[in-house]
Homo-oligomer: A and B are copies of this chain.
Amino acid sequence: MTRTPLTATAIIAEAADLADEAGFDGVTLSAVARRLGVQTPSLYSHVRDRAALLDGITALALSELADRVAVAIAGRADRLALHGFAEAHRAYSLQSPGRWQSLQRRAGAAAVESSAARSFVALTDALLRGYGLPPEERVHATRLIGSTINGFLALEAIGSFDHSAPAPEVSWRKTLDALDALLMTWSTDAQNRTP
């Protein structure tokens, strides 16, 4: 009556599901073991320790998100690509809050050097190339877009928008429009803004 043979991948997948249900800090080796119908120490044959398990969730989430973003911006340019990029992030953060939360922390070396991370850089760069941004401005634009999107989703996730009307969606649309407008004009007047 062997269940799933208990591999590192299976453990991390279960942990990711748990993260979505119980929050990222709710991810505990004992809880994962319980869900898998196994004793806690059995997990140590497959994952080094709790930190490694959490890093595994981060790597998984990064790769899942990169895939979604790739699909969302494929064959699109400018405004549509930006919206696809942003909506992919938002959908992920809303559907898989725990996985998404795993990305909001200092990533371990494994995640940083993963192919998903490189994928991300390439995707964002492609997005910005479409806007005609000069290469040396792309880092800053990347950082700005990342800050705004992640920042919005983070504030939404912790309920910062719960105490004021209207619904976050309205602000979200305006935010994306603002980003789009900004990128449109960036190439023409970025250089004389900051001397």
Q: Footprint of B on A, CB under 8 Å? A: 25, 104-107, 112, 139-140, 143-144, 146-152, 154-155, 158-161, 163-166, 168, 170-171, 173-175, 177-178, 181-182, 186, 190, 193-194
Contact = CB atoms under 8 A, between A and B. Distances in A.
Nearest to A139: B164
Contact of A143 (B149, B152, B159): B152
B193 A181 contact: yes
A181 B151 CA distance: 19
Nearest to A164: B139
23 contacts: A104-B158, A107-B158, A107-B159, A139-B164, A139-B166, A143-B168, A143-B171, A144-B174, A146-B151, A147-B151, A147-B155, A147-B175, A148-B151, A150-B151, A150-B155, A151-B154, A154-B154, A174-B190, A174-B194, A177-B194, A178-B186, A181-B182, A181-B193
Contact of A155 (B146, B155, B194): B146
Contacts of A175: 140, 143-144, 147
A49 B28 CA distance: 21
